[in-house]
A = this chain, B = another copy of it.
């Protein structure tokens, strides 16, 4: 019999992930608040559910891919939510990027209802979701992960077990801390080079191969120099993820003097209406600080 998987949150990431599950031969029952995406899901062979509860009633494995901690809690615990439908022994795989603390709290509550949670935030962007090449960072019970590895492999290529419940979210927070460090560091460097009148392309080329080499310098600096901040990853999402990092730093007593700076700069992007720019657009906030009004550098 075909295994049934539930999927709540058929957004930019969720819909292509659900399609990859369908393509792998799973039967998928899905729910999404906005109806056009649910119709697209149905066209791809998915079974649209009328309520969230119905998803949990019809699948032993449910995947959520939602915007934030609150929406994940709501989908599970609200009236008519997953908890009312879950069967004893079900597994919830949460692919959302949310607070590690909230994750642990949810996991504890679910355990009391006989449901196991794996936190499984993803990276790799829309392209990775479409190609099934996501990187998935997993926290929770390792045996449970092994048991469901085929499901994970239908959505991603790199599945890494990071430890107990919440450890997947911690890994994602670590990822975002380092991404932001690079974005701000490269921005400060590029702006210095510009203001000092050096040849920007040459400077980037000169330092790209040594100890400064990083994803951002290779993949974003050339466009940053042109003033092109077309989003790969929205600045407002970067800000949201840095809020999780900073909150986790507080929760676990871990100092974040540098991440705090990035947090402030991305907050300023959102406040300046740049939330839908790419996260490389943080350079524009440095330009504001420098009194440079020209968007293109």
A102 contacts the other chain (CB 8 A): no
Contact A178 B214 (CB under 8 A): yes
Q: Is the CB of B206 within 8 A of A137?
A: yes
User: B214 and A215: CB pair below 8 A?
Assistant: yes
Check B255 against A290 for contact (C-beta < 8 Å): yes
* CA A174 to CA B249, docked complex, whole Å: 28
CB-defined contacts of A233 to chain B, threshold 8 Å? 211
**A174/B192 in contact, CB under 8 A:** yes
Chain B residues within 8 Å of A209, by CB? 135, 158
Residue of B nearest to A206 (CB): B160
**Contact of A16 with B by CB under 8 A:** no
Interface secondary structure of A, over-half rule: helix
* A212 contacts B by Cβ under 8 Å: yes
On chain B, the residues within 8 Å of A199 by CB distance are 161-163, 167
Q: Is A185's CB within 8 Å of the partner chain B?
A: yes
B-binding segment of A49-57, A89-97, A110-118, A259-267: A259-267
Q: Is the CB of B257 within 8 A of A261?
A: yes
> Considering the complex, which residues of chain A in the window 114-146 have a beta carbon less than 8 Å from any beta carbon of chain B?
123-124, 135, 137, 139
Would you call A135 and B179 a contact (CB within 8 A)? no
Stoichiometry, copies per complex? 2
Assess whether A228 is interfacial by the CB under 8 Å rule: no
A184 on interface, CB distance cutoff 8 Å: yes
**Contact between A160 and B195, CB atoms less than 8 A apart:** no
Question: Nearest-CB distance from A219 to chain B (Å)?
Answer: 8
Q: Is the CB of A253 within 8 A of B290?
A: yes
Chain B residue nearest to A124 (CB atoms) is: B210
By a CB distance below 8 angstroms, the chain B residues around A123 are: 207, 210-211
Residue of B nearest to A184 (CB): B258
Q: Produce 1/0 per residue, A174-211, CB < 8 A to B.
A: 11111111101110111111111111001101110111
Give me 18 other A-B pairs in contact (C-beta within 8 A), A178-B207, A212-B215 excluded. Answer: A158-B209, A163-B197, A164-B197, A166-B196, A170-B193, A171-B193, A174-B192, A175-B207, A175-B212, A178-B189, A181-B186, A182-B182, A196-B254, A211-B219, A214-B214, A253-B290, A255-B289, A261-B261
Could you list 14 examples of A-B contacts with CB < 8 Å?
A: A123-B207, A137-B207, A167-B199, A174-B203, A180-B185, A181-B181, A181-B186, A182-B182, A184-B258, A188-B258, A192-B248, A192-B252, A253-B291, A261-B261
